Amino acid sequence: MKLLRYGPVGQEKPGLRHDDGTIRDLTEIVPDIAGPMLGEAGLAALRALDPDSLPVVPGEPRIGACVGAVGKFICVGLNYADHARETGKAPPEEPILFMKATSAISGPFDDVEIPRGSTKADWEVELGIVIGTRAKYVAEADALAHVAGYCLVNDLSERAFQSERGGQWTKGKSHDTFGPIGPWLVTRDEIADPQDLPIWLEVDGIRRQNGSTRTMIFDVAKLVSYISQFMTLQPGDIIATGTPPGVGLGHKPPIFLKPGQTMRVGIDGLGVQIQRTIEARA
């Protein structure tokens, strides 16, 4: 299934993307694409529905973030061997973890703000893991059973804030609109192998990132198991699993975002995002 949320910011409703391309309304079935309904029982109930019996959502509504009420937005740094090489850093021996503020979450086609004082705004296409059931001290062999599905993430960053302003990476990762997710949550059963997905990003029509999840250092199962040793993962938590090479910082000379540009972001099977960059709003 491809689950989504549509409507104005803060008023999103649950929906399902039918195979015919229409959005089908789920508001009479579930309150939101969030929390406990992301567990096996909730997803099984949705899977049992006949999509043709659901109301068609008319027009072309705004598509919001594909998961609501996200509790934790966890990111993994330097998780692609080829990306680690382009940064000049050794591949990590254990996953590098940091948090992105949930207030950064936005829709897949919403404008992206370039922060005030920004000099090094950057892009990062990533595979997102959506947790479906509580995970604490989970064995690697059991980890995927706790995954509801996957989504596309653009883990935007301000590199100067991230690396030149002291402290942790979070301040460079958490500006409003720096976490577009979606357009939809694709349930785990529809992704045969999350470690074999082409992943790419374009800026103004130029392909800047072109990779595959095959080059991830720590795979999805490893990440879910590893993170669950340090914190309990709850339904609706999102894990952004790292980015392949081609980020702006990795180019020689580096290339950074400015207002007035357009990004297209994609992972095979998970859809495409499109964002226009604008100056930050108050």
The bridge status of strand 105-106 relative to strand 179-180 is parallel
Task: Write down the pLDDT at residue 204.
Answer: 98
Band (pLDDT 50/70/90 cuts) for residue 91 is: confident
| 3-40 tens-digit pLDDT | 999 999 999 999 999 999 999 999 999 999 999 999 99
Task: Write down the pLDDT at residue 84.
Answer: 75
Average pLDDT, the chain: 96
Given CA atoms 174, 176, 178, 183 in this order, what sign does their dihedral have? Answer: positive
| 152-192 tens-digit pLDDT | 999 999 999 998 888 778 999 999 999 999 999 999 999 99
C-alpha closest to that of 95 among 182, 4, 216: 216
Q: Residue with structure tokens 């006949």?
A: 50
| Domain 73-279 listed as CATH 3.90.850.10 | yes
pTM of full prediction above 0.95: yes
| 114-139 tens-digit pLDDT | 999 999 999 999 999 999 999 999 99
Rounded distance between C-alpha atoms, residue 116 and residue 234, angstroms: 34
Task: Write down the pLDDT at residue 81.
Answer: 85
For residue 87, is pLDDT > 80? no
Give me the residue spans of the domains in the chain: 2-53, 73-279
Cα distances (Å, whole numbers) of residue 239 to 17, 154, 263 = 23, 12, 22
Band (pLDDT 50/70/90 cuts) for residue 106 is: very high
